[in-house]
């Protein structure tokens, strides 16, 4: 199946303001801004978090801040402080860090906590944390009373560049990642790049895998930029890092605006490397490997498969490998076992009419959605990144 090209009518609208960048995810009545700021929380003007929340929701009188227990004293507190002067009742819920919180058990507890704090359809859920918190809180928001308003405040690089944007929410099942969920768009994504200062290095690197992904799937000049600037990004140099975040969000906003619910195939490109990655995460045990680490290895497997099928060049694989390595990410996983991974991959959400489809690279900046891939080639691609 070919992937529809980027539509000419949709683009990520970007508006640089004083020290902020605003990107619009264009979804008609459900459009929303991604605000990329630097420690502006608490400012009473329109660019502060409270001001943005008011602009996005108007009538907000009850905010439920769902935050990662590990960051409750820093990022979450900043958000709470910024709301302190507002006429808004605040409820707080903490969720333990880590992928294991994206479970049916924790979701059921969260529903009860929402009931206990008196959430109603005029409340807003504010998710403060990484992808786990955003996905879980977003799915709770999507389902409680059939839908609460929702705001994303990502505090990890991965959440800033990927999971907070686009409305994919959900939880894992033991046999498959993100198997239960909903498309539920936030009203606002608030990115304070200063949150990255205290992010553990391993988490930061994990986010870089998704950044690199955008270069491979649809933005070749950005891939070149990353090759040149990876050292500055690793040092978290503010301007370069901010550019990488903003460019990634523009990519994601463009793709989501083209195909919000992954129906035309365009949005599937965001899944590059993920068919392998989700199988790695599920077979390793959730939380053993960070999502971005699994995505880095998954992109390697996908590129090897692309080379084997004659879809892309060795040179593409070489450049991707070099960038992933320069970004301090793993390229292989010694325990990758095709016998365990292939059955998990059969539950991939890109399966159509019982057939698995892979997002595979054609050239840097372009991928295709490929069906009918012989299983022995999939096994070979897994093996090629398990034994080195």
Q: In terms of C-beta density within 10 A (0-12 exposed, 13-18 middle, 19 or more buried), how is residue 313 classed?
A: middle
Q: Which is nearer to ligand LNCXM5UN, 331 or 349 (CB)?
A: 349
155 appears as a binding residue in the annotation: yes
Find the part of the chain contacting ligand LNCXM5UN (CB under 6 A) among 11-19, 20-28, 269-277, 302-310: 269-277
Q: Which is nearer to ligand LNCXM5UN, 270 or 360 (CB)?
A: 270
- Options 187, 254, 266, 291, the catalytic residue: 291
- Options 52, 242, 266, 271, the catalytic residue: 271
Give residues 315-354 in contact with ligand LNCXM5UN (rule: CB under 6 A): 349
247 is catalytic: no
Least distance in Å: CB of 213 to ligand LNCXM5UN? 7
Least distance in Å: CB of 259 to ligand LNCXM5UN? 9
- Options 187, 247, 254, 267, the catalytic residue: 267
Number of neighbours of residue 318 by Cβ within 10 angstroms = 12
As a whole number of angstroms, the longest Cα–Cα distance in the chain is 61
CB 385 within 8 Å of CB 304: yes
Query: Does 271 engage in binding with ligand LNCXM5UN (CB under 6 A)?
Result: yes
Alpha helices, H only, 63-200? 75-83, 104-116, 131-143, 157-158
241 appears as a binding residue in the annotation: no
- Please identify which residue in 37, 99, 113, 162 interacts with ligand LNCXM5UN, judged by CB under 6 A: 162
Q: With CB under 6 A as the rule, give the number of residues binding ligand LNCXM5UN.
A: 12
Cα Rg of the chain (Å, integer) = 20
123 appears as a binding residue in the annotation: no
Q: In terms of C-beta density within 10 A (0-12 exposed, 13-18 middle, 19 or more buried), how is residue 130 classed?
A: buried
The three-point CA angle 191-192-195 to 5° equals 120
262 is catalytic: yes
Alpha helices, H only, the chain? 49-57, 75-83, 104-116, 131-143, 157-158, 201-218, 220-234, 238-258, 274-284, 291-308, 314-326, 338-345, 375-384
267 is catalytic: yes
Query: Does 266 engage in binding with ligand LNCXM5UN (CB under 6 A)?
Result: no
Report the alpha-carbon distance of residue 122 to residue 128 in Å, rounded: 19
Find the part of the chain contacting ligand LNCXM5UN (CB under 6 A) among 160-168, 191-199, 339-347, 353-361: 160-168
Query: Does 207 engage in binding with ligand LNCXM5UN (CB under 6 A)?
Result: no
46 is catalytic: no
Least distance in Å: CB of 255 to ligand LNCXM5UN? 8
- Please identify which residue in 247, 274, 319, 357 interacts with ligand LNCXM5UN, judged by CB under 6 A: 274
Strands 124-129 and 62-68: parallel
CA 57 to chain centre: 23
340 is catalytic: no
Report the alpha-carbon distance of residue 191 to residue 165 in Å, rounded: 11
CB 329 within 8 Å of CB 336: no
Binding residues, by number, are 97-102, 131-135, 155-156, 168, 177, 195-198, 210, 274, 291
The binding site for ligand LNCXM5UN (CB under 6 A) comprises: 162-163, 166, 168, 177-178, 210, 267, 270-271, 274, 349
Which residue numbers are catalytic? 146, 168, 210, 252, 262, 267, 271, 274, 278, 291
């Amino acid at each position: 199946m070919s992937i529809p090209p980027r539509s000419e009518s949709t683009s990520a609208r970007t508006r640089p303001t004083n020290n902020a960048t605003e990107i619009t995810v264009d979804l008609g009545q459900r459009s929303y801004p991604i605000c990329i700021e630097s420690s502006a929380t608490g400012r009473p003007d329109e660019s502060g978090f409270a001001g943005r929340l008011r602009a996005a929701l108007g009538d907000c009188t009850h905010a439920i801040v769902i935050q990662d227990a590990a960051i409750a004293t820093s990022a979450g507190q900043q958000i709470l402080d910024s709301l302190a002067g507002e006429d808004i009742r605040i409820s707080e819920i903490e969720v333990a860090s880590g992928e294991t919180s994206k479970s049916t058990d924790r979701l059921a507890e969260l529903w009860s906590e929402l009931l206990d704090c008196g959430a109603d359809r005029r409340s807003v859920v504010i998710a403060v944390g990484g992808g786990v918190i955003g996905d879980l809180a977003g799915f709770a928001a999507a389902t409680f009373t059939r839908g609460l308003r929702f705001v994303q405040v990502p505090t990890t690089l991965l959440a800033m560049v990927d999971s907070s944007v686009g409305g994919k929410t959900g939880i894992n099942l033991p046999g498959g990642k993100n198997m239960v969920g909903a498309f539920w768009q936030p009203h606002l994504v608030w990115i304070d790049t200063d949150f990255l200062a205290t992010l553990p290095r391993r988490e930061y690197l994990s986010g870089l895998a998704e950044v690199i992904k955008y270069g491979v799937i649809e933005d070749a000049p950005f891939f070149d930029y990353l090759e040149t600037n990876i050292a500055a990004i690793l040092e978290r140099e503010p301007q370069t890092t901010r550019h990488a975040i903003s460019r990634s969000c523009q990519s994601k906003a463009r793709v989501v605006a083209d195909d919000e619910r992954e129906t035309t195939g365009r949005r599937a490109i965001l899944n590059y490397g993920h068919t392998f990655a989700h199988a790695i995460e599920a077979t390793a045990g959730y939380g053993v490997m960070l999502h971005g680490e699994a995505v880095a290895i998954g992109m390697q497997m996908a590129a090897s498969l692309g080379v084997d099928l004659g879809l892309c060049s060795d040179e593409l694989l070489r450049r991707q490998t070099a960038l992933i390595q320069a970004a301090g990410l793993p390229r292989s996983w010694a325990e990758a076992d095709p016998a365990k991974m292939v059955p998990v991959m059969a539950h991939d959400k890109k399966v159509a009419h019982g057939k698995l489809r892979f997002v595979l690279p054609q050239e840097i900046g372009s991928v295709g959605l490929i069906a009918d891939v012989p299983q022995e080639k999939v096994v070979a691609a897994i093996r090629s990144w398990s034994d080195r």
